[in-house]
Amino acid sequence: MKNVSKIIPCYAADTSGVCSALYEFGGMTVVHDASGCNSTYSTHDEPRWYDMRSNIYISALTETDAIMGNDEKLIEDIVSAAKDQKPEFIALCGSPMPMMTGFDYEAVARDIQGRTGIPTFGLETNGTHSYIDGASMAFLAVTKEFVRQCPKAEGIGVNIIGATPLDFPWHGTMDSMKQWLSDNGFSFICSLGMGGTLDEIRRAASAKVNLVVSFAGMAAAEYMLENFGINYVCGVPFGKGFGDVLADYIREAAAATDADCVSPYGMSIDDVECGTDTVIIGESISARSLAKALELDMGIGARVVCPLPTDDMLLSENDSELYAEEDIKAYLEREKPRTVIADPLYRYVIPDGTRLTALPHFAFSGRCFQRDMKDLINIDIKEFFK
Amino acid sequence: MIKLAIYGKGGIGKSTCTANLAAAFASLGKRVIQIGCDPKADSTINLLGGTPVTPVMDYMRDRDEEPTSIEEISQVGYGGILCIETGGPTPGLGCAGRGIITTFSLLEELELFEKFKPDVVLYDVLGDVVCGGFAAPIREGYADKVLIVTSGEKMALYAANNINKAVKNFEDRSYAKVRGIIMNRRAVENEEEKVRAFAESAGLDIAADIPRSADIIKYEDMGKTVIEGDPECETAQRFMELAKKLIAEDEAND
C-alpha cells in the first residue's frame, strides 16, 4: 500500500476545492454524491457555511440510481432547483461513486445548460484528488465562461487569483491583501476566490497583472495570460521584505510589453542560501512565500516540503515535493531540522528534538485550529516567529 | 481524423472486423491506432503475429503504478498500427467498465494522439453498451462514428438493435452517431434479407458485407489478418472497400 496516511490526515479533496472556490460567486454547486455528504464539503471544509449563504446541493445519489445510471433524475432535480434559485451558473461535480459508474459530467452539464439556458460546468472531481485540483478546475471554468476582453483600468490593476479559506484565514485575508495592494499604489480589480463577486470577475481582463496566491489559481492565470495577455506573478505578500519584492515584480510584470509570466522564485532563488534548520510544510506558493519572508525579514533560510500539486517552477532546487506520510517522515528524520513550520497535526510525524511552529492549514486540519490561523500578510512577521 | 467505435454481440467478429479494417487503413498509408476495449484483451493479437500486447490494466495490476510512456503499454504491429489493449480486472472482480475510462484518461495524460498523430483510431468494444464504461468510446472526443457488426442470427440482430437504441439515447450529449452496419455473414438462411430488413427498420446503412470465409480462420491461426495474409482475396477486398469509403467520407467532411 503506497501513500497511506497512518498518522496524519489527508488534505481536503477535489470536491471540497470546487465548493470552496465557487462559494461566493452566486452560482449553484451540485455534488453528485450520497445524501449526508454535504456536511463534508460544506461544513467540515467550509468555515463560511454558518455565516454566508451559498447554493450547494447534494444529488442524494442512491444505490439504485448508481446501478441504473439514472442521470435523468439528477438532471431534472438540477433543472427544477435552478428554476427556483436562478443561479448565475451551475457547477456539477462528483464523488467516488459516479467515478466508478463512469458518469459523464461534461455531457450532462451540456444537457442541463441546454434545458436551462444557464452556463453549466461539468467538473470531474472524484474525491481522490487534492482540493488544489478541484479549485483549479473551478477557477478555470469561471474564467473561461465569464471573463471577456475589456478596457484596462487606470494605473496598475491587479486581480488576486486562487485564494480560498482552505489556504487562508477567511476573516481578514482579503482586507490585508487589498490594503497591501493599496499601500503599493495598485488598484484591486477582482478576487477570483474568496471575497470575489461575479460582477468583478467579469471585468478581470481590465487588470494588468494577476497575483496568483495559490497553485489553485495557476490554470486560470495561464488562461488569462494566453487569452488576454495578462502577466501573472506568483506569491503571497507575507511579511514586509517579501511584500516589497512582490510589489516590484508586479510593477515589472505590468511594464512588460511581451506576454510572459513573471515568477518571483525563478528570478531570485539562485542567490538564496536554503538552510536545513527550518522546514516549511504546505501549499507551494504560500510556503515558498513564507520562506522568502523569513529570509528577508529575519535572515532565516528555510526549505519547503510541498505535499500538494504544484509546478517545479514554484519551488527552489532545495525544496521537495513529498506526497506520502512515510516520505515526509523519512525526510524530516533524515534532515533533522531545528524547526518545522506546519499545521499542528504534523506534530506527530516530526522527530524528537525538532520544534514545531504551528501554522494551521484549514485544508489539512479543518476547524480544529481555525481560531489559531494566522494572517501573515503585510505584517512584521518577527512578531509571529519571535 | 477518422475515429470509429465497433460494437456488436459477443463473438460476432468485432475484433476480426476491427483488425482487418485497421490493416486496410494501414495498407492505404494511414497511421492507425487500434484500442481493444475488452477485458479479454485479444483485439489486436492478429495485428501482432499472435503475440499479445501487455494490457494497460495488467500493467497497473502488476506494478501498482501507472505507466509513464505510451511505449510501455503498446506495440507496433502490421503496417505500423499502434496496438493498445485496455484489458480488465481479474474475472469476477472489480469493474471492467471503469478500467476502460481509466485507460482513456491515462492515454490522454500520456498525450497519445498528440504524440502518435494518427489518421485513424479504432475502438473495439466488448459486446453491448452495458454500462457507463462501455459507452466511454462514444463520448465526445473519442469515436465520432459507430459501426455495428452483426450477422443474420436473431440474437446478433437483437444486440445490434439494442446498441443502436443505446447510442440514440445519447443524441443530446454530442456522442458518436451510428454510421452503419458491418454484415459479417455466418451462413444463416436468408441472412441478407434479415440484415437488410433490420437495417431498413433502424434507418441504417449496410457499410460493408463481409462474406463467410475460411481465409479469416486460416490467417488468424497464423496470427494475421486477411489483409496481411492474402490482400487479393475477396474478404480482404471488402475491408479495403470499406476503408476507402470511410476515408472518402472523412475527406468530404473536411
d(CA B44, CA B41): 8
Looking at beta carbons, which residues of chain B come within 8 Å of A108?
Answer: 173
Nearest by CB to B132, from A103, A110, A114: name it. A103
Instruction: Count chain A–chain B contacts defined by CB atoms under 8 A.
Output: 39
For B101, name the nearest residue in chain A, comparing CA atoms only. Answer: A102
Looking at beta carbons, which residues of chain A come within 8 Å of B136?
Answer: 102
CB-CB under 8 Å, B132 with A107: no
d(CA B106, CA A359): 36
CB-CB under 8 Å, B172 with A99: no
Gap from B189 CA to chain A (nearest CA, Å) = 37
CB-CB under 8 Å, A104 with B98: no
Catalytic residue positions of B, numbered: 9, 14, 40, 128
CB-CB under 8 Å, A102 with B98: yes
For A109, name the nearest residue in chain B, comparing CA atoms only. Answer: B173
Mark which residues 65-94 of B lie under 8 Å from A by CB.
65
Looking at beta carbons, which residues of chain B come within 8 Å of A110?
Answer: 172-174
Q: Nine-digit cell at A353?
A: 528534538
For A108, name the nearest residue in chain B, comparing CA atoms only. Answer: B173
| pTM over 0.90, yes/no | no
**Rounded to whole angstroms, what are the CA distances from A74 to A80, A82, A110, A255, B235?**
10, 12, 13, 49, 48
Looking at beta carbons, which residues of chain A come within 8 Å of B175?
Answer: 107
Which range (A143-152, A376-385, B110-119, B126-135) has the least confidence? B126-135
Query: Residue A270's pLDDT is what?
Result: 43
B64 and A CB contact within 8 Å:
yes
Q: Nine-digit cell at A167?
A: 489556504
A86-105 b/e (C-beta count within 10 Å ≥ 16 → b): ebbbbbbbbbebbbbbbbbb
Domain boundaries, chain B: 2-253
Query: Residue A261's pLDDT is what?
Result: 60
Query: Residue A266's pLDDT is what?
Result: 42
pLDDT digits (tens, 9 = 90+) for A55-93: 999 999 988 888 888 899 999 999 999 999 999 999 999
Query: Residue A152's pLDDT is what?
Result: 94
Residue A113 dihedral angles phi and psi, to the nearest 5°: -60, -40
CB-CB under 8 Å, A111 with B173: yes
Q: Provide long-range contacts, Cβ within 8 A and 24+ apart, for A350-357.
A: A357/A385
Nearest by CB to A69, from B98, B101, B132: name it. B132
Nearest by CB to A102, from B65, B131, B173: name it. B131
Q: Nine-digit cell at B188?
A: 444463416
**Could you tell me the domains of chain A?**
14-145 (3.40.50.1980), 146-266 (3.40.50.1980), 270-385 (3.40.50.1980)
Q: Which candidate in A4, A67, A79, A100 is best for mutational testing of the B interface (most B CBs within 10 A)? A: A100
CB-CB under 8 Å, A111 with B172: yes
B108 and A CB contact within 8 Å:
no
d(CA A246, CA A277): 25
Q: Is the pLDDT of residue B134 over 90?
A: no
Nearest by CB to B95, from A69, A100, A106: name it. A100
For B98, name the nearest residue in chain A, comparing CA atoms only. Answer: A100
CB-CB under 8 Å, A102 with B173: no
Looking at beta carbons, which residues of chain A come within 8 Å of B172?
Answer: 110-111, 114
Neighbours of A348 (CB within 10 A): 12
Query: Residue A35's pLDDT is what?
Result: 85
Contacts of A94 (CB under 8 A, 6+ apart): A15, A31, A32, A33, A103, A105, A124, A125, A126, A127
Query: Residue A271's pLDDT is what?
Result: 45
Query: Residue A267's pLDDT is what?
Result: 41
pLDDT digits (tens, 9 = 90+) for B202-238: 999 999 999 999 999 999 999 999 999 999 999 999 9
CATH architecture of B2-253: 3-Layer(aba) Sandwich (3.40)
Residue numbers in chain A where pLDDT is lower than 50: 266-271
pLDDT digits (tens, 9 = 90+) for B186-195: 999 999 999 9
Nearest by CB to A102, from B133, B173, B174: name it. B133
Q: Is the pLDDT of residue B40 over 50?
A: yes
d(CA A360, CA A170): 13
Describe the crossing of helices B234-253 and B214-221 by its angle, rounded to 10 degrees: 90
- Which range of B86-90, B91-95, B177-181 scores highest in mean pLDDT? It is B177-181
Nearest by CB to A102, from B64, B132, B173: name it. B132
Looking at beta carbons, which residues of chain B come within 8 Å of A104?
Answer: 132, 135, 139, 173
Gap from A164 CA to chain B (nearest CA, Å) = 27
Average pLDDT over residues B136-143: 89
